[in-house]
Structure 1
Amino acid sequence: MSIREFNLLEEPWIRVMKSTGEIETKSILDVLFSAQDYMKLAGENEAQNAPVLRLLEAILLTTFYRYDVDGGPSEIEDVSDALDRWESLWNLKHFPKCPIETYIQPYADRFWLIDDENPFMQTKAAERGTEYKTSKLIGDLSESNNKTRIFQSRNLEGKEEIDFQEAARWLLFVNAYDDVSGKKSATLKKYEKETGKKADSPGAGWLGRIAQVYARGENLFQTLMYNLVFLKSSNEIWDEMTPCWEKARRDGERVQVAPPNNPAQLFTLSSRRLLLKIKNKKVIGYYSMGGDFFKSDTIQNGYFVEKNSLYRYVKGTKTKPSAFVLRRHDPARQIWRDFSNLLIKTDSNEVPGVVKWLGLLESENVLNSDAMIYFDTCSVQYGDKDFFITDITGDSLTLHLSMLNNKYKSYQVGVEDVVRVCTELANATGYLARNIAISSGASGDSVLKAESTKGKELFYSLIDPAFRKWISELDPEVNDFEFYKNNFFSVLKELTRKVIRQYEEKISVRSLGGCYFEDKHYSLPESINIYQAQVNKILGGEMKDAKSK
């Protein structure tokens, strides 16, 4: 007898937060139809929210590329259509039921979490792969079969079995971020032996390999709309949307596919072949093996399909041209330190597609330039060449929407200069920490490098809240930049004095008198004098008189 349970369109499984802070669990359709009533997604962690968001985006993109807001068949055919369709949705302030139900109901049978034939984003073929316990499925545990985590986020019963609601969320998480510890199936090993061909590794899950950036609004409807990028470039619409539920399921192991040419396809990429193990209506484990993958540094016709990532510039060689490639997050680096990567397009820098999209909407007067925009990052860190997950991190940055408009390029460049000054002051603080360590008798490259790093981290920890406040209050339509910048440099000056006071509080007798190191004398007073001179040089040439508008 056929078994079907827990349809994701109708059953509650997505966690959302109300403005009161209360958490509710809703189905896909309930979330879409009531998105304006919730602040945000509220899964077990921010990294889990990302693939859920992208699933919702895939439904919305496919729906509104084919239907108008009234539910009538109306394909987007040009840039003007795309902007008009997006603006019509934005002005409604909610997602209309008719077009979404008209589109998705014919595919309802592809959304059963438990199904003998077509379980959602799963396949029976996964039974050929590695069998895992539920503790590996749970992303904030990610516990392998061979090693138990010392510090547990839940008790034994809570990690041996979980309900369908939670399993659905972690299923998306594993598909998005899975590590590379999964082994080849016996079938694949036999094939390799017989043919002499080696199957490539699919690598970590797609979202684990990019520096994710998402725009966040005042409520979930705005967040979904901000990330609903209707154009692949400023003058070109997307190819046909092809989410996974519209295609025949692929069961092959470690299959290299052509790079997705539309976001609905990318957002529902099956990077793993998965199958949940069920007992007494609980998930007690799962099977996994390598799924679809593609070369992550591929640019198609000058654009990336992935619109929610930062890039890095790779200088060309004799055999390869210079190129932009998607990059990973550095968890030790605050997002504002990557301001130029986030907002400023140059010959050697590309900005995320979602940022360019919002800038276009602002310049077209679709969005109010007075609005605030929040950019959130989330990332998963791995150890030993992506063999296991070590941490999950996130960050955010608040800006006036007008900062995205290219007509305020001088403000963008000005902020980039301020970030550069902060970097120089952090490096100077690292040099101060190194010199003070030497004056106390420290030596050795690794020891001095560690002290320098601590000094930089100290400066960034002090400046971080001040910079975030400053950038969130900078409004190009109100503030004179030079005046506003000078006020912030006064804050920087005071923070360097605070740095000095913190080191003076840890004074040692030896550091006062100092010592010789590599034929040079070091002491606390000398180190502080050098630091003050560096600070004056860094800030002195930057501070100018300016009047507020």
Structure 2
Amino acid sequence: MINMANRHFNLTTDPWIKVIETSTNREQTVSLITLFENAQHYRQLAGEMRSQDLAILRLLLAILTTVYSRLDAHDDRYLWLKADFEIDEETFDEEDSEDDLLATWQDLKQAGQFSVGVVQYLKAHAADFDFFGERPFYQVTTEDYDSFVPQNKRVAAGKGQVLVKQLNRQISESAHTPSIFAPKSGEAKNELPVDELVRWVITYQNFTGVTDKTKISTDEKFSNSAGWIYRINPVFAKGQSLFETLMLNLVLVNAWQEDAAYTCQKPVWEFASIRDYITQRKSQILPDNLAELYTGWSRILHIEWHETGVQIFSAGIPMYGYDNALIEPMTTWRLDKKTNAYRPAVKGLRSLGIAMWRNFGQYVKVREADDVHEPGIVVWLQLLKRRQLIAHDAPLMLNTVALISDGNATSQSPAAEVADDMQMQADVLFDTQKGDRWPTRIEEAITFTQTIGTDYYHFASDIGQIRNLDVRSFASGMSATFYEQLNVPFKTWLEGLQATDDREEKIKAWKNRLRDIVVASVTDVMQSSTPRDISGISTKKGPLNIFTAKNHLMYNVRTHLDLKKE
């Protein structure tokens, strides 16, 4: 693990972040300072999991948001801030501050790299990023840990431990349930180099399950919560380089909440002490700034270092609620009609195979009357486009990365990871044309596409019935395969749309492409037909065989797509 005689690892100067270098296409491991100095030369983050990359992306954004909410692109303090970066009420004006922040974003984009101020910030806060320091990064000391937990849970008692293989979300193995298909076996599951341990500690704080039962002592009882990102439906923008990705997601102005005012950023390491941070968390008040939200903990972790390995102690802390937590920009939302509150539209195992484009209306408000709260990151991108800070024909790629739990309320262990994306031109995504907006027409295309998907499911059900199979299981499998065949063509169609296109022609082109996909899929089924498929069976509605099933499907396709028979 590490040389115990010389324990040192500082995230600002020691390499721990995995990236892909653009020029060589090779993986590198870099420090925070190296990353921010060279973000324009890296294609993307390249950690062990996409969800790990998302957790680290939010940490990087917390640093950038903190710096550039205080300093402009020339590293000068905004005139409406005091020396301690608090608001100067005498000079502060909300509209002027918004203009200044957007000017900073524009200057950084034009420069093509981050300013020296980011490195200066990291050097000034180097002690806060020391993994073995007096205030170890994303950890607490023995003294602090013992002061927070009940006496029988203190470090000396040896209780409340989580194993390295539980932090590692590629394994997520508890002491009682072995992970059979893990990338490591035996004792190797609990061995990690320090740089990888750092990545998993950050990831674990964001994607914690609830297998651990130790909690800090509070006046009011609370249940251990899963990690914050674990309970949202993540969405973020992806650029051609890591610099572009960071810039597109660098939200300096809250444009999606009414009456949202400038707030001072306060990442977790800027709290005066860990005890101050835990005191605030006990109040369960939702953070009012992104840096604090992006660096929020779900557990206090204490690591005991030994020659033979590590002991990791974990205790839950109260989590703020998700209802109307609209400051979070990286999630889709759904309206809970019982409480009239917006909640993250969490992805579950049942929706595992549903591609991002099929939920287009969750990402973009199609109609003004819809009870849809667009993701903050989408509204931010719209603001950049409206202010002409990004080109009208710029390709905007929305990404999602979801780590999905097993659905077990007592564990919430990771069961699957899903990553997806969809890309459109800015003018298409944020079409302002009245009466015939692209988002409305795209949603229309998705609706009739899913109608055809339903038609195909009925066709698959007929085949399953003819073959005397479990109809629901067989039809679900065929339906999933059919949608997989649609994903790439539909995403390609989306990417090719332009604001100046004739809507009807483009919609017709997709209808024809969709029909061709149905025909090709049915042809495959016909070519693998059996004598039983051909002879068929008798039903209450009459004879049913593969030919009648096909004819019924194609009739529905022509009807629902309003296409002439060829």
Q: Give your verdict on TM over 0.5.
A: yes
Which residue pairs with 1:95 in the alignment? 114
Task: Give the CA deviation at 1:285.
Answer: 4.3
Q: Do structure 1's residue 371 and structure 2's residue 394 form an aligned pair? A: yes
Q: SS state of the match for residue 107, structure 2?
A: helix
Which residue pairs with 1:466 in the alignment? 489
Task: Give the CA deviation at 1:314.
Answer: 2.2
- Please give the per-residue CA displacement for 1:296-342, whole angstroms capped at 9, x wherever unaligned: 1134xxxx111011111222x4xx3x332212123221111111211
Residue from 350, 355, 361 that aligns with 1:340: 361
Preserved CA contact (<8 Å) 2:222 2:318:
no
Supply the AA of the counterpart residue of 2:323. Answer: D
Q: Do structure 1's residue 420 and structure 2's residue 447 form an aligned pair? A: yes
Q: Do structure 1's residue 405 and structure 2's residue 430 form an aligned pair? A: yes
Preserved CA contact (<8 Å) 1:227 1:354:
yes
Separation (CA, whole Å) in 2 of partners of 1:89 and 1:467: 34
Counting matched residue pairs gives: 518
Task: Give the CA deviation at 1:292.
Answer: 3.9
Task: Give the CA deviation at 1:536.
Answer: 0.7
Q: Do structure 1's residue 42 and structure 2's residue 46 form an aligned pair? A: yes
Q: SS state of the match for residue 73, structure 1?
A: coil
Task: Give the CA deviation at 1:449.
Answer: 2.0
**How many percent identity over aligned positions?**
24
Which residue pairs with 2:269 in the alignment? 245
Separation (CA, whole Å) in 2 of partners of 1:413 and 1:89: 34
Q: How does 1:198-213 map to 2 (within 5 A)?
A: 199-213=221-235
Separation (CA, whole Å) in 2 of partners of 1:431 and 1:132: 48
Preserved CA contact (<8 Å) 1:110 1:119:
yes
Q: Do structure 1's residue 288 and structure 2's residue 314 form an aligned pair? A: yes
Preserved CA contact (<8 Å) 1:377 1:396:
yes
Gaps of 5+ in 2: 82-91, 147-152, 154-158
Task: Give the CA deviation at 1:140.
Answer: 0.7
Q: How does 1:154-303 map to 2 (within 5 A)?
A: 154-156=184-186, 158-184=188-214, 188=217, 199-233=221-255, 236-247=260-271, 248-250=273-275, 255=282, 257-280=284-307, 284-299=310-325
Residue from 136, 148, 154 that aligns with 1:119: 136
Gaps of 5+ in 1: 544-549
Task: Decide which structure has greater strand share.
Answer: 1
Residue from 353, 365, 387 that aligns with 2:412: 387
Separation (CA, whole Å) in 1 of partners of 2:497 and 2:523: 30
Preserved CA contact (<8 Å) 2:38 2:113:
yes
Residue from 437, 462, 484 that aligns with 2:464: 437
Q: Do structure 1's residue 6 and structure 2's residue 33 form an aligned pair? A: no
Separation (CA, whole Å) in 1 of partners of 2:341 and 2:227: 23
Separation (CA, whole Å) in 1 of partners of 2:531 and 2:270: 73
Which residue pairs with 2:105 in the alignment? 86
TM-score normalised to structure 1 length: 0.89
- Please give the per-residue CA displacement for 1:170-212, whole angstroms capped at 9, x wherever unaligned: 0011100010111135x75xx8xxx8x6x22132111111110
Q: SS state of the match for residue 6, structure 1?
A: coil
Supply the AA of the counterpart residue of 2:199. Answer: R
Preserved CA contact (<8 Å) 2:170 2:182:
no
Task: Give the CA deviation at 1:88.
Answer: 1.4
Q: Do structure 1's residue 540 and structure 2's residue 558 form an aligned pair? A: no
Task: Give the CA deviation at 1:531.
Answer: 0.7
Separation (CA, whole Å) in 2 of partners of 1:525 and 1:331: 32
Residue from 519, 527, 531 that aligns with 1:509: 531
Preserved CA contact (<8 Å) 1:135 1:142:
yes
Task: Give the CA deviation at 1:378.
Answer: 0.7
Preserved CA contact (<8 Å) 1:462 1:495:
yes
Q: Do structure 1's residue 16 and structure 2's residue 19 form an aligned pair? A: yes
Which residue pairs with 1:525 in the alignment? 547
Supply the AA of the counterpart residue of 2:16. Answer: W
Preserved CA contact (<8 Å) 1:426 1:456:
yes
Root-mean-square deviation over aligned CA pairs: 2.4
Separation (CA, whole Å) in 1 of partners of 2:399 and 2:498: 20
- Please give the per-residue CA displacement for 1:268-305, whole angstroms capped at 9, x wherever unaligned: 1011111233234x853422121241111134xxxx11
Supply the AA of the counterpart residue of 1:109. Answer: A
- Please give the per-residue CA displacement for 1:340-393, whole angstroms capped at 9, x wherever unaligned: 211225432122111111111112111112221222111111111253221222
Q: Label 1:499 to 1:101 Cα distance change in 2 as closer, same or farther (>3 A).
A: closer
Q: SS state of the match for residue 231, structure 1?
A: coil
TM-score normalised to structure 2 length: 0.86
Task: Give the CA deviation at 1:518.
Answer: 5.4
